[in-house]
Amino acid sequence: MKFSKLSQLFLVSSIGLLVATLLTACQLVTIDYVFVASSAGSGTSSDGQIDTYAVDSESGALRTAAPSVSSGGVNPIAMTVTADYKNLYVANKSNNTLVHFTVDLNGKLTSKDTVTTSNAPVAMAVDSAGTYLYVVSGPNPSVLTAYSLSSGAIGSVAFQQTLSLSGVSGSYANDVLAPTGVAVLANTSTVTGNGVFVTLYDQSAYNPGGVLTCIQPCANPGWIFGFTVGSGGALTPVSGSPWKAGIKPSAIAADPTDRFVYVTDFASNQVIGYTIQAGSVLNFMLSGPFSAGSEPAAIVIDPRGKYIYVSNSLSASVSAYVITQATGIPSAAVNTTGSATNSTDPLPVSIAVDPALGRFVYTANELGNSVSGFRLDPNAGTLTATQATPYPTGEKPTSLVIIPHGNHATQTVTP
């Protein structure tokens, strides 16, 4: 069979177009960058590291992106990012440092400035306007510090508050409060005061396997302290604060609309819900607390405000819940298999949802030296494992945060 030159040209062009289409279809499209902080060295004075991974838009699989960088200190314990995703902060527990990094469009981190805290930092959060970095450190004493931010750079201390049960009814002469988490309401919140909430537990009243040092009868071990933000970053205790928060609150999160706050109770395997009232006052949520897996360590709410995900450190799993929008009450856990178990590698201690599409969930697994990935069904909240999960990391990862790639919009919710 013979072809004319025109037919041959058309055939060659068609084949070339088909090949190009297939190659384009096979290209990996990055929608997010995942940053994982881990203890890279084996010595007590070895700097930690931050690894950068790219998220594939179709599979959710992670691949190495920008080169790893030093965390700028020893034993990184927590990270947070600004709302514009241009600045990342890491808290290094063993040498009491906070390190600021800028984030390039390709996910590359560049260290910019460092400050030293008076005692070990534990958790931190940035307000949505990017004006203050809130850091809780401790214990003995436990302190909430608001650092001023200028174009991402960490500035002077705007306000500092020692966290104590002094003045609360009962005997607390020997209380030793240990901080575990901090959450900040949005600056655009309709809640008066743009609340800041800190979770702590009283080590003198909760000491498994040890001796209680509190003056009997012991007080409630778990607490939430609430503050409103005033002029110049001044913090004022909220009326009724502190509120009881189980036995050992381990993490805290507020929903994107600033109507609800959720706390994980590590000791009782539960999630405690609160509604946010005027003046950032918290009220216990009806029907709570809500069951979780064994020793829940971290909590995150998807960017649409529809689902809650909790990483359970002892059971190596993720619990998933649907938020009832009218009341904030989490439903029974949802899962494609009908169980409440989404398995991870051992000891998942940090959890995050991708902000670009809100379709993937990742956990940092401290004993697994890995990240576990899940695909999130946006219509049901169910999770399924991503391709090739888990993904190897540095030694003992303790924290992860995610930023969207520059050419992808973030997901939001307006109930």
- 405 pLDDT higher than 90: no
- 17 pLDDT higher than 80: no
User: Which range has the top average pLDDT, 2-6, 39-43, 250-254, 285-289?
Assistant: 250-254
Residue 414 lies in a domain: no
CA gap 320, 378 in Å, rounded: 12
Q: Across all residues in the chain, what is the average pLDDT?
A: 87
Question: Residue 386: what pLDDT?
Answer: 96
- 296 pLDDT higher than 70: yes
Strand, helix or coil at 44? coil
Which residues in 39-96 belong to E strands, given as ranges? 47-56, 62-64, 69-74, 76-81, 87-92
Higher pLDDT pick, 410 / 179: 179
Domain count, the chain: 1
Residue 27 lies in a domain: no
Residue 299 lies in a domain: yes
Q: Please, which pLDDT band fits residue 24 given cuts at 50, 70 and 90?
A: very low
In this predicted model, what pLDDT tens digit does every residue of 86-109 receive, in sequence order?
999 999 999 999 999 999 999 999
Q: Is 146 left (phi over 0), alpha (psi -120 to 50) or beta?
A: beta
Question: Residue 314: what pLDDT?
Answer: 97
Which residues have C-beta within 8 Å of that of residue 115, sequence separation ≥ 6? Answer: 97, 98, 147, 154
Q: 59-63, 349-353, 405-409 — which is least confidently predicted?
A: 405-409
Q: Please, which pLDDT band fits residue 166 given cuts at 50, 70 and 90?
A: confident
Q: Looking at the whole model, is its pTM more than 0.75?
A: yes
CA gap 81, 102 in Å, rounded: 10
In this predicted model, what pLDDT tens digit does every residue of 252-295 receive, in sequence order?
999 999 999 999 999 999 999 999 999 999 999 988 899 999 99
Question: Residue 41: what pLDDT?
Answer: 59
Question: Rounded to whole angstroms, what are the CA distances from 156 to 46, 144, 211, 227?
Answer: 28, 14, 40, 20
Q: Please, which pLDDT band fits residue 364 given cuts at 50, 70 and 90?
A: very high
* Cis status of the peptide bond prior to 390, with omega within 30 of 0: yes
Question: Residue 3: what pLDDT?
Answer: 46
Question: Residue 44: what pLDDT?
Answer: 55
Q: Domain range spanning residue 146? A: 34-404
Read off the pLDDT of each residue in 298-317 and give the average, rounded to a whole number.
96
Question: Residue 50: what pLDDT?
Answer: 97
Residue 24 lies in a domain: no
Residue 15 lies in a domain: no
Helix/strand/coil (H/E/C) assignment for every residue in 373-398 = EEEECCCCCCEEECCCCCEECCCCEE
Burial of 215: CB neighbours in 10 Å, binned 0-12, 13-18, 19+:
middle
CA gap 223, 168 in Å, rounded: 11
Residue 17 lies in a domain: no
Which residues in 213-323 belong to E strands, given as ranges? 222-229, 235-237, 243-244, 249-254, 260-265, 270-277, 281-284, 290-291, 296-301, 307-312, 317-322
Question: Residue 16: what pLDDT?
Answer: 37
- 43 pLDDT higher than 60: no
Residue 282 lies in a domain: yes
In this predicted model, what pLDDT tens digit does every residue of 179-230 receive, in sequence order?
999 999 987 655 555 899 999 999 888 878 777 777 666 778 999 999 999 8
Higher pLDDT pick, 220 / 399: 399
* CATH at residue 345: 2.130.10.10
Residue 42 lies in a domain: yes
Read off the pLDDT of each residue in 362-367 and give the average, rounded to a whole number.
98
